[in-house]
Amino acid sequence: MKPATAQRWANLLILPTLNILTAFVVTTLVFLAIGVNPIDAAKLLVKGAFGYQNGIGYTLYYTTNFIFTGLAVAIAFHAGLFNIGGEGQAYIGGLGVGLVVLAFDGWLPAIILIPLAILAAALMGAAWAAIPAYLQAYRGSHIVITTIMFNFLASSLMVYLLVNVLGEKGQMSPETRSFAESSFLPTWSEMLGWFGIPFASSPLNISFLFALFCCFAVWVFLWKTRWGYELRTVGANPDAAIYAGINPKHIVMMAMLISGGLAGLVAVNELLGVQHRLLLGFNAGYGFGGIAVALMGRNHPVGIVLAALLFGALYQGGAELSFDMPNVTRDLVVVIQGLIILFSGALESMYRPQIQRFLSRFVKDEVSA
């Protein structure tokens, strides 16, 4: 094996695997700290997530959200930007869905209403990302800070709108009226029913396929188009990009608009697919989860699908686990997310020196032989 090839394999496979393993080793320590047998818990988790049709449906439904936010974070990462604002962009995407559906669901047919609502989700998510993007590109303010601030602003705005403007009067919780049925996305049990295949009813809907399509589209965009090439160039080396005639400001805007749009699509799955009304906190945790998904998936669409599936399974399996084990809450998933971000993100190169030492010995042997 040539040294360069060995290095490539170390970066692509060995390091990420070690990082994720470390995160899971620490997770088992947390299990032990709360007095739960990690093996029993893992069995229950897997059974809850994949053991029966309804469980699979929930797993893939959560996966859908994580794919959208994971792609959102990843595309910004490729441009060298850290978008922490997925949470707020998803929230405002929901506002777009809500406004369109509440305005038009009385008279537009599903075939026009649904695409319009999806477009609104993406546009509003993109719009919410556009301001931090503009401030980063043209005014030099740091996008991490502004996207954090915009998460809080989104949350305040939504509370205000749902409590004072959009909310249905006389409701206990601030939420809008139910959407008309013409806005409902078909669920998997309905879609498979068209072909005579029975599938247990679950929140899983057509958005999952849409999410997979978005993965493909992001892959094509990043690696097969000129814009994608320019975006990755800016992320890899802004100076070289300028020298090559690329305007990094335009790329920052483009990357963040796409990123915000993708995050906004969470609202499609949640509101058009499942909740059928606009409500507080439907976005909770998916924006931050997307960071873990993108880091774990190495910012590649295929990796993101796999990482999203893992987190979807943990969400669903974790819910199941908390039924059976009163000592456990689903918030355990949050711990795992944190650990993944820590070990696959911040401590990404923790094992690099050891690997390098090991590799150099190994490769040298090869050369001398």
Partner 1 sequence: MSEWFTLLISTLDATLRVSTPLLFAGLAGLYSERAGVVDIGLEGKMLVGAFAAAAIAHLTGVVWLGLIAAIIVSVLFSLLHGFASITHRGNQVVSGVAINILASGLTMVLGLAWFHQGGSTPSLTNNERFTAIQLPFAESMQTVPYIGPLYSDMLSGHNILVYLAFALVPLTWWVFYRTRFGLRLRAVGENPKAVDTAGISVATLRYQAVIIAGVLCGFAGAYLSTAQNAQFIRDMTAGQGFMALAALIFANWRPWPVLFACLLFGFLDAVAVRLQGVSLPHIGTVPVQLIESLPYILTVILLAGFLGKSRPPKADGIPYVKER
Chain residues that interact with partner 1, rule: CB under 8 A: 30, 33-36, 82, 84, 131, 135, 139-142, 144-146, 148-150, 152-153, 156-157, 159-160, 164, 288, 291-292, 295, 326-329, 331-339, 341-342, 345-350
The single residue listed with the structure tokens 């920052």 is: 252
What amino acid is encoded at 291 in this protein? I
When the beta carbons of 99 and 148 are compared against partner 1, the nearer one is 148
When the beta carbons of 212 and 325 are compared against partner 1, the nearer one is 325
When the beta carbons of 117 and 336 are compared against partner 1, the nearer one is 336
Shortest distance in whole angstroms from residue 113 CB to partner 1: 30
Q: List phi, psi (to 5°) of 7.
A: -60, -40
When the beta carbons of 175 and 230 are compared against partner 1, the nearer one is 175
| Sign of the dihedral defined by the CA atoms of residues 289, 293, 295, 299, in that order | negative
Shortest distance in whole angstroms from residue 336 CB to partner 1: 8
- What is the separation, in whole angstroms, between the first and last Cα of the chain? 12
Q: Do 97 and 274 meet the contact criterion of CB atoms below 8 Å apart?
A: no
Helical axes 86-104 vs 248-264, angle rounded to 10°? 60
When the beta carbons of 214 and 292 are compared against partner 1, the nearer one is 292
Shortest distance in whole angstroms from residue 124 CB to partner 1: 18
Q: List phi, psi (to 5°) of 279.
A: -140, 170
Shortest distance in whole angstroms from residue 321 CB to partner 1: 11
Q: Which tokens belong to 86?
A: 């997925």
* Three-class secondary structure of residue 218 per DSSP: helix
Distance (Å, rounded) from C-alpha 111 to C-alpha 276?
17
Shortest distance in whole angstroms from residue 93 CB to partner 1: 19
Shortest distance in whole angstroms from residue 116 CB to partner 1: 28
When the beta carbons of 272 and 328 are compared against partner 1, the nearer one is 328
* Three-class secondary structure of residue 261 per DSSP: helix
Shortest distance in whole angstroms from residue 136 CB to partner 1: 10
When the beta carbons of 250 and 330 are compared against partner 1, the nearer one is 330
What amino acid is encoded at 212 in this protein? L
Distances in Å between the alpha carbon of 102 and those of 115, 232, 247, 269, 348?
A: 14, 39, 40, 17, 45
Distance (Å, rounded) from C-alpha 191 to C-alpha 35?
43
